[in-house]
Structure 1
Amino acid sequence: MTEIEIQENLKAKIKVLNETLWDNRVLNPSIEKWLSNFSSDKEKLHALYLLSKFMYFGAVPMRNLLKSLFRDLYRYPLIESIRKNNKDTLDVDLIEEKFKEEEKNTRFIGVGNPSESGAHLLYFFRQENKLSKKLFVYTDEILDRSGATIKLKFPEVKHYVFIDDFCGSGSQATSDDNNIKPCVDEIKKLSTDIQISYLMLFATSSGIKNVKKSGLYDRVEAVIELDDTYKCFDANSRVFPQRDNLYFEKDFTREFCYRLGRPLFYNINQKEGHTGDKLEKLSDYAALGWGDCQLLLGFFHNTPDNTLPIIWYDEDDIDWFPIFKRYNKKYSF
């Protein structure tokens, strides 16, 4: 097969993906503009191949996943516990009555501040699962700091559920850099009876492992777990299966993705205030996606920074055209 035939086959596949799964987000003019980021025909062909492997989840699939999260990771485990505590009862009315009690004493919280994707998805989560808005709070509503001592604002609540769209490295759920970990630490100090869960739509296996290792949460689960085979350049990568090795070179692709991706993330890390050795290390760490996740993954509301930067980078400082744009966080005014 000639290079031109390979390219046409890839474009035909991308066209089908765009029309059926990608919500027509990637039209041919955008593809050509994105390919102009790359210097050689070989790089462009391999970039096109990566694009043909991109996993995109639109609004409808994400809503369905939010139903699955509530049903499979919240409702079913509670029902199993209710049955176990009631002599393995099959009494549907009793089970539902007990479940409603548990639900009433639960609060759902989006990961990140109100402007970020975790909180954004709670709106759809509430709609799809027909939940009362009273079951949703921000982290700063959980604790009462008005008196001399910190108290729980909702003493009747027995279960806090943090919800996130994606967990890559696990740092967002475990780092002191945001308000999640301090909040969880305070809850645990004030009550040992409260269960705290961290539930995600998507998570890497390493991210789940890191969050579990932190010991912060009683339950850590994802609807869809991405193991190392989802990393573009892993030894067992699904992106580069053996049958494609005849035409596409994994090592070559990794080299130019790293070479082009590092300065893109370097610029972002620099704007976030990192300098010196930390800036260099973070840029190495993120050149193939934050946490070296090496993913090809995007959602209708945003593209995770754990995806290859060559896919999503869209900052003013460097002339780079994204194919699945990421709305990067802006931390300063």
Structure 2
Amino acid sequence: MFQAPVNWESYYDNIILKCEGYIDSGYWEEIDKIKLRGWLTNFKTAEERYFSACMLDALVFRTRKMVDASFRDIASSKIPKFLYQNGVEINDNLDNWIDRITAGDNVPFRFIAIENVDNKTGKSGSLVIRSIKESLDLAGHLTPPYEKIPKIPKDVNFLVFVDDFAGTGEQFDSFFKEKIKPLLRLNMKILYTPLAAHKRAIEYIKNKNKQVTILPVETLSDEDSFFHPINNSFRGDGKNTVEDAKKFYLNICRKNGFENERYLLGKGDQSLCFAFYFSTPNNNLKLLYHKKPGHRWINLLHRNR
């Protein structure tokens, strides 16, 4: 049976103070104190409140500045590495290379968004492509919609697919095979560079698509699961097992009427607590972002902005 440890109240109070500090400093963009306190009201008992504090403590939040830094890493490191692996050397220094991309002069690649996956137009890939365009001040012709791939100039042989997160790799695999492959010229090389990717997705994509190079900015693993044991206990508390914590979590879902929703433990049961300021991958715990019209649960995060 899941139990709140001795002195859990002190831990709870410290975590809430830390979160409010993140909000006050502007670190937690798109989350305010009203949203935080509203989400906390979902949890009633001592055990539930302790559990909520554990989720907040585990939450990794990537801010706008962090995402902008990731975009610069893609432009200055991931893409030059990919081009070099395919026989194209960038002779410019870093500043000149970024200037070339900004101006759009003699750029051998195009950025492509992951969009309309499973006919869902709200996929965050479109938002990511707009964000990278703004962050790097890209020339407009460097971000064509995927339907325009056949019209890309013949001397442009590299496509860079950007995305927020790859959890299982299944969505990218489906998008690539159904929408992209039929449009490719024989000599085109493909780079997939999500802001973050789970190791499972990396292996899946490598095995399914030999012509795709995947270079994520950040890599996650099973050790990033909320339920990954620490010192042989749940979150290292020395009180609860991971199995009991997982059962307790699912019981909270059942009590609040959404046990039949998909991905309660995150897609692929990855049970992440990992969000961007503009999106929350569905590989996360459902309790963090669940929102449904007419449902009483108050969400902390949003699937997509």
TM band (smaller chain): 0.7 to 0.9
**Structure 2 residue 174 is matched with structure 1 residue 197:** no
**Structure 2 residue 297 is matched with structure 1 residue 320:** yes
Alignment partner, residue 280 of structure 1:
none
CA distance in 1, matches of 2:243, 2:181: 43
CA distance in 2, matches of 1:162, 1:208: 14
**Structure 2 residue 59 is matched with structure 1 residue 60:** no
* Contact kept in structure 1, 2:122 and 2:304, CA below 8 Å: no
Alignment partner, residue 279 of structure 1:
none
Alignment partner, residue 184 of structure 1:
180
**Structure 2 residue 46 is matched with structure 1 residue 41:** yes
Which letter maps to 1:227? S
TM-score normalised by length of structure 1: 0.75
Which letter maps to 1:302? S
Alignment partner, residue 110 of structure 1:
113
Question: Over residues 19-67 of structure 1, what are the superposed CA-to-partner deviations in whole Å (9 max), with x where a residue is unaligned?
Answer: 342137141x433432332342212211122112211112121111111
- Is the alpha carbon distance of 1:217 and 1:319 closer, same or farther for their aligned partners in structure 2, counting shifts above 3 Å? farther
**Structure 2 residue 117 is matched with structure 1 residue 121:** no
Q: Which structure 2 residues correspond to residues 140-289 of structure 1 after superposition, within 5 A?
A: 140-143=147-150, 154-175=153-174, 178=175, 180-188=176-184, 190-191=185-186, 193-215=187-209, 217-235=211-229, 240-241=234-235, 244-246=236-238, 250-261=242-253, 264=258, 266-267=260-261, 283=262, 286-289=263-266
Question: Over residues 75-105 of structure 1, what are the superposed CA-to-partner deviations in whole Å (9 max), with x where a residue is unaligned?
Answer: 2443574459xxxxx8869x96xx9899623
Structure 1: 5+ residue runs without aligned partners? 85-89, 144-151, 268-282, 329-333
Q: Which moved more, 1:216-225 or 1:9-18?
A: 9-18
Structure with max Cα Rg: 1
CA distance in 1, matches of 2:157, 2:304: 35
Structure 2: 5+ residue runs without aligned partners? 1-5
CA distance in 1, matches of 2:63, 2:92: 38
* Contact kept in structure 2, 1:265 and 1:309, CA below 8 Å: no
Q: Which moved more, 1:252-261 or 1:162-171?
A: 252-261
CA distance in 1, matches of 2:278, 2:210: 28
CA distance in 1, matches of 2:232, 2:157: 41
CA distance in 2, matches of 1:112, 1:225: 22
How many residues get paired? Answer: 287
The 4+ residue runs of structure 1 with deviation greater than 4 A are: 90-93, 99-103, 236-241
* Contact kept in structure 2, 1:264 and 1:318, CA below 8 Å: no
* Contact kept in structure 2, 1:198 and 1:217, CA below 8 Å: no
Alignment partner, residue 74 of structure 2:
69
How far the C-alpha of 1:6 sits from its partner, in A, is 2.5
TM-score normalised by length of structure 2: 0.81
Q: Which moved more, 1:258-267 or 1:3-12?
A: 258-267
How far the C-alpha of 1:326 sits from its partner, in A, is 2.4
Which letter maps to 2:173? T
How far the C-alpha of 1:234 sits from its partner, in A, is 2.3
RMSD: 3.2
**Structure 2 residue 298 is matched with structure 1 residue 304:** no
* Contact kept in structure 2, 1:55 and 1:298, CA below 8 Å: yes
- Of 25, 29, 47, which residue of structure 2 is paired with 1:23? 29
CA distance in 2, matches of 1:153, 1:265: 47
**Structure 2 residue 131 is matched with structure 1 residue 131:** no
How far the C-alpha of 1:115 sits from its partner, in A, is 4.6
* Contact kept in structure 2, 1:58 and 1:300, CA below 8 Å: yes
How far the C-alpha of 1:310 sits from its partner, in A, is 0.3
- Greater RCO, CA 8 A, separation 6+: 2
CA distance in 2, matches of 1:194, 1:238: 48
